[in-house]
Amino acid sequence: MSDTPGQKSPGTMSYSKWKSLKLPPDRRRVLSGVQPSGKLHLGNYFGAIRQHIASQDEDAERFIFIADYHSMTTVTDGAQRRALTLDVALDYLALGLDPAKTTFFRQSDVPEVHELAWMLACVTNTGLIEKAHSFKDKIAKGIEPSVGLFTYPILMASDILIYRSNWVPVGDDQVQHLELTRDMAGKFNRAYGEVFPLPQALLVEAGAKVPGTDGQKMSKSYGNTIDIFAEGKALKKSVMGIVTDSTPLEGAKDPTTCTIFALYQLFATQDETDALAAMYRAGGMGYGTAKSMLLEKIDERFGPARERRRELAGNLDYVEGVLRAGAARARAEAEITMGLARKAAGL
Ligand code: ADP
Ligand code: TRP
- State which ligand 1 atom lies nearest to the alpha carbon of 225: 3
Give the Å distance between the CA of 66 and the centre of ligand 2: 9
- State which ligand 2 atom lies nearest to the alpha carbon of 165: 14
Tens digit of each residue's pLDDT (9 = 90 or more) over 104-124: 999 999 999 999 999 999 999
Nearest CA to ligand 1 atom 2: 219
Residue 181 main-chain phi, psi, to 5 deg: -60, -45
Nearest CA to ligand 2 atom 6: 33
pLDDT at 70: 97
Q: At what angle do helices 316-345 and 287-313 cross, to 10 degrees?
A: 80
pLDDT at 19: 83
Residue ranges of alpha helices (H) inside 122-146 are: 126-130, 133-140
Give the Å distance between the CA of 43 and the centre of ligand 1: 6
pLDDT at 166 over 90: yes
Average pLDDT over residues 271-278: 97
Give the Å distance between the CA of 230 and the centre of ligand 2: 24
Give the Å distance between the CA of 321 and the centre of ligand 2: 23
Establish whether 220 is a catalytic residue: yes
Residue from 40, 44, 135 whose mutation best tests the ligand 1 pocket (most atoms within 8 A of CB): 44
- Residue 126 CA to residue 55 CA, distance in Å, equals 36
pLDDT at 273 over 90: yes
Q: Quote the pTM value.
A: 0.92
Residue from 30, 66, 173 whose mutation best tests the ligand 1 pocket (most atoms within 8 A of CB): 173
Lining ligand 1 with CB less than 6 A are 35, 43-44, 46-48, 170-171, 173-174, 207-210, 217-221
Establish whether 217 is a catalytic residue: yes
- Residue 2 CA to residue 30 CA, distance in Å, equals 23
- Residue 12 CA to residue 19 CA, distance in Å, equals 14
Q: Collect all residues with Cβ–Cβ distance below 8 Å to 106 and sequence separation of at least 6.
A: 65, 66, 68, 85, 323, 327
Lining ligand 2 with CB less than 6 A are 31-33, 35, 67, 70, 156, 159-160, 168, 170, 174
Give the Å distance between the CA of 244 and the centre of ligand 1: 23
Give the Å distance between the CA of 160 and the centre of ligand 2: 9
Average pLDDT over residues 46-59: 81
DSSP E strands in 98-249: the ranges are 102-106, 167-170, 200-203
| pLDDT tier, 347 (very low <50, low <70, confident <90, very high otherwise) | very high
Write down the CATH number for the domain with range 12-209+316-345: 3.40.50.620
DSSP string, 70-135: GGGGT---HHHHHHHHHHHHHHHHHHT--TTTEEEEEGGG-THHHHHHHHHHTT--HHHHHT-HHH
Tens digit of each residue's pLDDT (9 = 90 or more) over 188-244: 999 999 999 999 999 876 556 899 999 999 998 889 999 999 999 999 999 999 999
Give strand pairing partners of 104.
Answer: 64
| pLDDT tier, 5 (very low <50, low <70, confident <90, very high otherwise) | very low
pLDDT at 9: 66
* Catalytic entry in 17, 138, 233, 343: 138
Tens digit of each residue's pLDDT (9 = 90 or more) over 56-104: 777 789 999 999 999 999 999 999 999 999 999 999 999 999 999 999 9
- Residue 97 CA to residue 91 CA, distance in Å, equals 9
Nearest CA to ligand 1 atom 10: 44
pLDDT at 206: 58
pLDDT at 52: 87
- Residue 161 CA to residue 192 CA, distance in Å, equals 15
Domain boundaries, the chain: 12-209+316-345, 229-312
CATH class of 229-312: mainly alpha
Greatest alpha-carbon span in the chain: 75
pLDDT at 207: 52
pLDDT at 259 over 70: yes
